Amino acid sequence: MTTEKYKVGDKVQYRPLRGTDTFSEGIITEVITKPQENSSGKVMGGASREHPSYVIENCHTKKATAYESEVIEGRID
């Protein structure tokens, strides 16, 4: 069973930098439910079905980055 709170296509408000009051808006483009390898073959992240990570494409910069659910404040319209 997964505890996904968000799904691909959701527009969310999130904190791109932990410990700051800065918010960004983005679209979830991928839900990650297991550790993945980066381009050099190194295993990155601790994502699991119980604690998924989310790839968010920033609405302003169009850059996509994986984030843990703790930095996502919630869905927005």
| pLDDT for the residue numbered 46 | 76
Nearest partner of 30 among 58, 65, 60, 61, judged by Cα? 65
| Residue 17 located in a structural domain | yes
| pLDDT for the residue numbered 42 | 63
| Residue 45 located in a structural domain | yes
| Residue 6 located in a structural domain | no
Q: How far apart are CA 73 and CA 5, in angstroms?
A: 11
Q: How many domains does the chain have?
A: 1
Q: How far apart are CA 65 and CA 73, in angstroms?
A: 16
CB-based contact 27:9 (threshold 8 Å):
yes
pLDDT in tens, the chain (77 residues): 445 589 999 999 999 988 888 999 999 999 999 887 766 666 666 788 888 999 999 999 999 999 999 999 999 98
| Residue 1 located in a structural domain | no
| pLDDT for the residue numbered 1 | 42
| pLDDT for the residue numbered 29 | 96
CA distances from residue 17 to 40, 43, 56 in whole angstroms, order as listed: 25, 22, 13
